[in-house]
Structure 1
Amino acid sequence: MRFQGAEIKEQGVTFAVVIVKKHVIDNRSEANRIITAFQAQVFQGRPVILMAQDSRKVPTYYGRDDIARFMASVPLHAIPWKEYSIS
């Protein structure tokens, strides 16, 4: 599986942002399940925030409240996106 994401360290906290489809964030139980899976299988227990864009490319973040609020203030072009591949 391939996905787009980023690892970010801010104010001593390292966390991950993973791009998902909007319907994932709209379904809280699915979003929480995906966060748990990414934490366990990819990001070694670090906090994971999900990001989806609407049809106008406006991002929405879901996950730990303090990190999601912080990410809402970060321009998309400033995030160090990369493609991940997991099996």
Structure 2
Amino acid sequence: MRFQGAIVREQGVTFAVVVVQRHVINNSAEANRAIASFRPVFPGMPVTLMAQDHQGRATYYGRSDISRFLAGVPVGAIPWREYTLN
């Protein structure tokens, strides 16, 4: 499975951001399963999920400090790339 994600290093914290569909973030059980499924790609890093609405506004799900930080970062400033999860 290919997906869009990023590794971000900010203020001494390295974490991953993964793009998912909005319905994943809207269901906490599904969001937590998604986070667990992406952990092998980003070992030792907290994983935060990001989904956009139809107007392109981002919503984040994960550690609250990371989600708050990302809410203030333009989506285009995140270093996105394609990853593969086997």
Could you say which TM-score interval applies, normalised by the shorter chain? over 0.9
Tell me the alpha carbon deviations over residues 31-53 of structure 1, each in whole angstroms, 9 at most, x when there is no partner. Answer: 011112212x1100310000000
Identity %: 63
- Partner Cα separation in structure 1 for residue 71 and residue 77 of structure 2: 12
Structure 1 segments, 4+ long, off by >2 Å, are none
- Partner Cα separation in structure 2 for residue 86 and residue 20 of structure 1: 14
Tell me the alpha carbon deviations over residues 35-72 of structure 1, each in whole angstroms, 9 at most, x when there is no partner. Answer: 12212x11003100000001111100000000000000
Aligned to 1:6: 6
1:68-83 to 2 correspondences below 5 Å? 68-83=67-82
- Partner Cα separation in structure 2 for residue 45 and residue 10 of structure 1: 16
**TM-score, with structure 1 as normaliser:** 0.95
Gaps of 5+ in 2: none
**TM-score, with structure 2 as normaliser:** 0.96
Aligned length: 86
Letter in 2 for 1:32: N
Aligned to 1:64: 63
Q: Calculate the aligned-residue CA RMSD, in Å.
A: 0.7
Aligned to 2:29: 29
Aligned to 1:17: 17
- Partner Cα separation in structure 2 for residue 11 and residue 21 of structure 1: 28
Letter in 2 for 1:65: S
Letter in 1 for 2:55: R
Aligned to 1:55: 54
